[in-house]
Amino acid sequence: MSIDIEYLADHSEFVPQIASWYFSEWGHKEPNNSIERISERLNTNLNRNHLPIPIVAIENGKLVGIAQLKIREMAIYPNREFWLGGVYVDSLARGKGIGELLVRRIEEISKQLGINELYLQTEKLNGGLYAKLKWLPIEQVDNKNVQIVIMQKKLQNDNYLE
């Protein structure tokens, strides 16, 4: 298995597929949202050096996943600046460690940018993949009638348990 992790900015041809994934997974729950609107947002965020920074996982030339380094993803947390978000792996590619590769690459990019602390939100109340990658749950909240867990990772102390 050869998975390449690259910037979406270098593969804008994947925007329609990602928009479709995002709409099916989360976007259909938002009023007035559409695949086209999600595509427009993605196309304005094709960044490599400033946030948001979307990255993609590619296997044999095929898009298999995405993750993003975002800024202030949740309005209810104005002091929590940097977020891992939009993590999605194609259903046919799950179970291959692609999600972990994407998360670790976002952590690396964050460190390169001098970011010491990241947050994320997940509907997996046990933390799922993120718990395995040493993200710590900090609170459970209701977000648009869905229970989610907010998790945190302090990047400067990444190896303190090893």
User: In tens digits, what is the pLDDT along the chain, a chain of 162 residues?
Assistant: 689 999 999 999 999 999 999 999 987 878 889 999 999 999 999 999 999 999 999 999 999 999 999 999 998 999 999 999 999 999 999 999 999 999 999 999 999 999 999 999 999 999 999 999 999 999 999 988 889 999 999 997 545 444
75: domain CATH number?
Answer: 3.40.630.30
Asked if the structure places residue 61 within a domain, the reply is: yes
The pLDDT value given to residue 22:
95
Q: Global pTM?
A: 0.91
Asked if the structure places residue 134 within a domain, the reply is: no
The pLDDT value given to residue 95:
94
Number of domains within the chain: 1
Give the range of the structural domain holding residue 47, as residue numbers without chain letter.
3-115
Asked if the structure places residue 147 within a domain, the reply is: no
Instruction: Determine the residue type at 136.
Output: L
Asked if the structure places residue 158 within a domain, the reply is: no
Query: What SS3 string covers 23-47?
Result: HHHCHHHCCCCCHHHHHHHHHCCCC
Asked if the structure places residue 92 within a domain, the reply is: yes
